[in-house]
Structure 1
Amino acid sequence: MKNSKKNEIIKHNELQENGELNIMAQVKIVTDSTAMLLPHEIEKYDIKIIPLTITVDGVTYQDGITISPVEFMDKMAASKSLPQTSQPALGVFTEIYEPLVADGSSVISIHLTKGLSGSVDAARQAAMMVDGDITVIDSGLIDRSLGMVVLAAAEKAANGASRDEVLAEIKSVKEKTEQYLTVSKLDNLVAGGRLSKTAGLLAGMLNIRIGAHVVEGNINVETKGRGAKSTKAYIQKIIEVLQAAPKGVHAIGISTAGIPDERETLGEQLRTLFPEVEVVLQQTTPIVATHTGDGAIGFSYQLN
């Protein structure tokens, strides 16, 4: 027996002994690279990740595979034009789906909002090409808020839940999950056609920053203000909502486009205010950073 195969078997057995692997799972979970899952989360639940692609100055990269979020920020800053994002090809989906359904398992494929990518439509087309039970879901979310829904589904599936039970869990968690966004530089929103050039020019001259609630993929601007104080005030309002939550907070995710120091400072504040809540701090995916530009903050949370 080759050593690599032997090591795989040993690891498989260890996972079983530790209760980290459920070989009787009826449902398998797929998502995309924008879910911002941590490596140990992906491994624990054997979640399959489909990478989106990003093109910078004519060179195409696979999100999280051939380019990291930090590397992307440097390339975007030096790029001649706005990077272009695109959904995976149908074949990428089918290559993932086919082996998953081969043993009769159901697949639930949960993806970022259609408002920012055509990935969910590509997933549905690919699912129709595969002989198996595949349910594709538009989460209406992106980044760590998407990840929260995916993790809830994966945990439910690992505990032996049926497809319908996992789908019910997804619906329940989505209703308790919110995502907010602050954008300090509006250039990318203008270049991407999400803000008019005139509005972008005025905002830049006045140092206007926006705070927005992401609802079913729509970026609903809730506040506009000048300078960093407006961003802090908007985030404080979100924190106050969490503090007033009757049943408490289950999870918080902070993802930023660059600005690592600000991310760590906000994380320390949140960990002090919510010591029993896991607060995940990350550099956001290139897909989000392309739309928001440098300096953006994504604030995701899931209530109990």
Structure 2
Amino acid sequence: MTKIRIVTDSTADIPRELVDQWGIEVIPLNVVFSENETYEDGVTLSPSAFYEKLETEQAMPTTSQPTPHQFEQLYRSLHSDGAEVIYSIHLSSKLSGTFQSASIAKQSLEDELDIRVIDSKQASYAIGIIVAEMAKMANEGQPVDILDKRLEYLLQETTVYFLVDTLQYLQKNGRIGKASAILGSLLKVKPILSLSKEGEVYPFDKARGPKKAVSRIIETIKEQYGDEPIHIGASHALNEELANELIERVKQECQVESVVITSIGAVIGAHVGPGTVSISCTKATNK
């Protein structure tokens, strides 16, 4: 049986229990508050510590991707441990250079190891929902051809919608993409954002207030997935109440097979800000 390992990065916001359960390797991105103050996302800076720090810091934190050398070290370590195939699934290349770093590392090891570097074109648990499914299947002993088919399907059928309290974080960090079109019209309007097929932030819709925004998201998910079984995950930045509300509403309207709730980590949090909530969905079976 081919030994398969799954690698992702810290922006997937996968709960620690799932990381441990399925043996997922998570490479951290960096959060920089000052020249002398750099942290590893989820390693030396937890989500709770990050949001506490964000309240007291005057300067907006910046983020940076892992280096190709870090990826190469990780891939070599997994190879030494017996890995024959590595799926390395990462944050949208429109939002970070992480995919590029992983691709460079892959090139240096192509003669030694089968490494499949994937641009998820997603962010936060919309990456995690794909990674967790792939890692579960790998642990069950599913072969590479089945994993390839499932991954292709997951990349096509996974969607994410998110609500932010303010667009200032996305704007200041240069990740706002096409959502800039709604900057001037947000007085009492709650923007519903999503990621395009190319992995860029765009304004999906807008609603007057969070309750109407939640209803619009639920309506969209119901239209998209119908009665097919789905996996869902909600990630939040200090807004667990709204995350739980989204989950309960989706469970009422759709055939939910599994649910995950998780915190938005420091890197994604630096770009979306406190109060953000996202809901990620994917089909539980290929059809």
Q: Which protein has greater RCO, CA pairs closer than 8 Å, 6+ apart?
A: 2
SS at match of 1:44: helix
Q: Conserved in 1, the CA contact under 8 Å of 2:121 and 2:199?
A: yes
CA RMSD in angstroms comes to 2.5
Amino acid at match of 1:222: F
Given the superposition, is the C-alpha separation of residues 117 and 193 from structure 1 closer, same or farther in structure 2, using an over 3 Å criterion?
closer
Superposed CA deviations along residues 251-298 of structure 1, whole A, max 9, x for unmatched, are: 111112222333334344444555854322222121221111222211
SS at match of 1:160: coil
In the alignment, the residues of structure 2 paired with residue 270 and residue 282 of structure 1 have an alpha-carbon distance, to the nearest angstrom, of 16
Question: Which residue of 2 is the match for residue 30 of structure 1?
Answer: 7
Correspondent of 2:86 among 73, 89, 107: 107
Correspondent of 2:200 among 212, 215, 218: 218
In the alignment, the residues of structure 1 paired with residue 185 and residue 40 of structure 2 have an alpha-carbon distance, to the nearest angstrom, of 33
TM-score normalised per structure 2:
0.86
In the alignment, the residues of structure 2 paired with residue 174 and residue 254 of structure 1 have an alpha-carbon distance, to the nearest angstrom, of 18
Amino acid at match of 1:286: A
Question: Which residue of 2 is the match for residue 123 of structure 1?
Answer: 102
Question: Which residue of 1 is the match for residue 69 of structure 2?
Answer: 91
Cα distance, 1:124 vs structure 2: 0.7
Amino acid at match of 1:84: T
After the TM superposition, which of the residue ranges 120-129 and 72-81 deviates more from structure 2?
72-81
Question: Which residue of 1 is the match for residue 220 of structure 2?
Answer: 241
In the alignment, the residues of structure 1 paired with residue 124 and residue 77 of structure 2 have an alpha-carbon distance, to the nearest angstrom, of 26
Cα distance, 1:223 vs structure 2: 2.3
Larger radius of gyration: 1
Given the superposition, is the C-alpha separation of residues 195 and 29 from structure 1 closer, same or farther in structure 2, using an over 3 Å criterion?
closer
Q: Conserved in 2, the CA contact under 8 Å of 1:187 and 1:200?
A: no
Question: Which residue of 1 is the match for residue 136 of structure 2?
Answer: 155
1:189 aligns with 2:170: yes
Superposed, 1:248-267 pairs within 5 Å as 248-267=228-247
After the TM superposition, which of the residue ranges 167-176 and 256-265 deviates more from structure 2?
256-265
Correspondent of 1:44 among 11, 17, 21: 21
1:73 aligns with 2:51: yes
Question: Which residue of 2 is the match for residue 13 of structure 1?
Answer: none
Question: Which residue of 2 is the match for residue 166 of structure 1?
Answer: 147
SS at match of 1:70: helix
Structure 2: runs of 5 or more not aligned: none
Superposed CA deviations along residues 149-193 of structure 1, whole A, max 9, x for unmatched, are: 112221222233333332221111222211111122122123123
In the alignment, the residues of structure 2 paired with residue 87 and residue 200 of structure 1 have an alpha-carbon distance, to the nearest angstrom, of 28
Given the superposition, is the C-alpha separation of residues 87 and 195 from structure 1 closer, same or farther in structure 2, using an over 3 Å criterion?
closer
The size of the alignment, in residue pairs, is: 276
Superposed CA deviations along residues 25-83 of structure 1, whole A, max 9, x for unmatched, are: 43211111111222232222211111111112341111111011111111122222211
Cα distance, 1:199 vs structure 2: 7.7
Cα distance, 1:249 vs structure 2: 3.5
In the alignment, the residues of structure 2 paired with residue 109 and residue 25 of structure 1 have an alpha-carbon distance, to the nearest angstrom, of 16
Amino acid at match of 2:34: D
In the alignment, the residues of structure 2 paired with residue 120 and residue 201 of structure 1 have an alpha-carbon distance, to the nearest angstrom, of 29
In the alignment, the residues of structure 2 paired with residue 201 and residue 144 of structure 1 have an alpha-carbon distance, to the nearest angstrom, of 25
SS at match of 1:49: strand
In the alignment, the residues of structure 2 paired with residue 44 and residue 199 of structure 1 have an alpha-carbon distance, to the nearest angstrom, of 42
In the alignment, the residues of structure 1 paired with residue 253 and residue 181 of structure 2 have an alpha-carbon distance, to the nearest angstrom, of 37
Question: Which residue of 2 is the match for residue 139 of structure 1?
Answer: 120
Q: Conserved in 2, the CA contact under 8 Å of 1:181 and 1:214?
A: no
